[in-house]
Amino acid sequence: MIPDKQFLVDTAKMKMPFGKYKGYYLVDIPEYYLVWYKNQGFPKGKLGTMMALVYEMQLNGLEDILRKLR
């Protein structure tokens, strides 16, 4: 699945709504935290999809794309 442009913009502006990194932009959450979620299972719904996208982008060194969109 290739996310559309608006989904990328929404992901860039999304802040973590709970947990240790509540209030942080998803793209600013440390990679180890996203790896933990990857292993445990991302939350259901849009937030989980966004977190999985950020994880993949960090894994491939592309997180600056999201930072520029923000």
Whole-model pTM?
0.91
Q: What average pLDDT score do residues 47-66 get?
A: 95
Confidence of residue 5 (pLDDT cuts 50, 70, 90): confident
Flag the least confident range among 3-7, 46-50, 66-70: 3-7
Find out whether 58 and 46 touch, Cβ atoms under 8 Å: no
Backbone angles phi, psi at 8, to 5 degrees: -65, -45
What is the identity of the amino acid at 41? G
Q: Which one, of 68, 35, 65, lies nearest residue 51 by Cα?
A: 35
The predicted-structure confidence for 27-52, as pLDDT tens digits, reads as follows 999 999 999 999 999 999 999 999 99
Dist CA 18 CA 24 (whole Å)? 10
Q: Which two tokens stand for residue 20?
A: 């240790």
Confidence of residue 2 (pLDDT cuts 50, 70, 90): low
